[in-house]
């Protein structure tokens, strides 16, 4: 079984998001409260250390119409609870979002357009290692260098993991995609119990990728430990040689600042997934299409 170390991220408690209904006076006058009024100018986010959290803080400063808005950090599970509640009651909601994520399989959601380009274009997930990893573990390096898959692959594991453990969902996916996973290890010699530590993030998308690559490495004879940590800790650990490798970083926007800080002491092994997206997400039934539509004044 893949070992996992405790989280080193201290999560901040989050107050519940209050979804206010339109006021009686507004209803009597035939007027609707603005989206800002209904949501108390609050965007529901995830963990404070997530890259999308920092990017959303930048968006709050970049868009004039978001001057009264604030980001309420929570957790991925907390965000999902808010989505489920809002959609069940067809209420407005704005959350930080990204693909791949199983919420897009469960609900009709859409990304808001980002005219200022704060969230960037499509992102890429990279494989990275500490300096010297290729020389120390050439077989593991070769497998990780070959590792490449699609957004739909990760999203399928994330969805299945809602009804089973992530390791089981990953194992099922591996068995269903043996042609692909066999290509990652083709021609690479097996090892006998060599220890390797992978760094990852404590979010469902990275649980999926770390489980898949860990099981493939274990099948090839490695003794794998996965450390789920905050992005800033992971990049620092890679730079200091405390973690061997990772398949988790999103670039160029989500964790780009950490790469700028530690990139000279990290080996970027290339892209393992393309076509990921981050931004602000709302239910399809909300009659807005752009971040600029998130006004704060009652009309």
> What's the pLDDT score for residue 48?
87
Can you tell me whether residue 210 is helix, strand or coil? helix
Kindly report, residue by residue over 189-227, the tens digit of the pLDDT.
999 999 999 999 988 899 999 999 999 999 999 999 999
* Residues 155-179, mean pLDDT to the nearest whole number: 95
For residue 143, pLDDT over 70 is answered with: yes
How many Å apart are CA 74 and CA 79, to the nearest integer?
A: 7
Q: What is the per-residue DSSP string for 98-166? A: EES-THHHHS-EEEPB-TT-TT-S-EEEEEEEETTHHHH-HHHHHHHHH----HHHHHHHHHHTTSS-H
Kindly report, residue by residue over 55-104, the tens digit of the pLDDT.
999 999 999 999 999 999 988 889 999 999 999 999 999 999 988 888 98
pTM: 0.72
From residue 14, give the alpha-carbon distance in Å to each of 45, 71, 74, 136, 228.
Answer: 10, 11, 5, 43, 21
Kindly report, residue by residue over 223-265, the tens digit of the pLDDT.
999 999 999 999 999 999 999 999 999 999 889 999 999 999 9
């Amino acid at each position: 079984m893949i070992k996992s170390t405790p989280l080193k991220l201290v999560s901040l408690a989050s107050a519940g998001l209050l979804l206010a209904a339109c006021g009686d006076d507004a209803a009597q006058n035939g007027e609707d409260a603005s989206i800002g009024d209904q949501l108390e100018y609050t965007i529901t986010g995830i963990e404070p250390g997530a890259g999308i959290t920092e990017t959303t803080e930048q968006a709050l400063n970049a868009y004039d119409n978001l001057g009264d808005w604030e980001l309420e950090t929570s957790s991925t599970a907390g965000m999902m609870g808010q989505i489920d509640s809002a959609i069940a009651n067809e209420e407005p909601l704005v959350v930080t979002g990204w693909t791949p994520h199983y919420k897009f399989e469960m609900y009709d959601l859409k990304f808001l357009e980002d005219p200022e380009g704060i969230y960037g274009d499509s992102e890429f997930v990279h494989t990275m290692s500490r300096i010297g990893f290729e020389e120390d573990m050439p077989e593991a390096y070769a497998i990780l260098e070959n590792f490449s898959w699609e957004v739909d692959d990760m999203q399928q594991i994330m969805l299945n993991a809602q009804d089973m453990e992530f390791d089981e969902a990953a194992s099922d996916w591996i068995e269903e995609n043996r042609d692909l996973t066999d290509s990652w290890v083709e021609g690479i010699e097996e090892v006998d119990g060599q220890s390797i530590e992978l760094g990852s993030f404590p979010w469902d998308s990275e649980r999926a990728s770390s489980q898949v690559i860990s099981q493939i490495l274990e099948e090839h004879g490695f003794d794998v430990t996965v450390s789920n940590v905050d992005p800033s800790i992971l990049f620092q650990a890679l730079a200091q040689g405390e973690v061997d490798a990772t398949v988790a970083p999103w670039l160029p926007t989500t964790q780009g600042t950490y790469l700028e800080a530690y990139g000279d002491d990290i080996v970027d092994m290339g892209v393992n997934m393309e076509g990921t997206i981050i931004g602000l997400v709302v239910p399809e039934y909300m009659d807005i299409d752009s971040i600029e539509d998130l006004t704060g004044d009652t009309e």
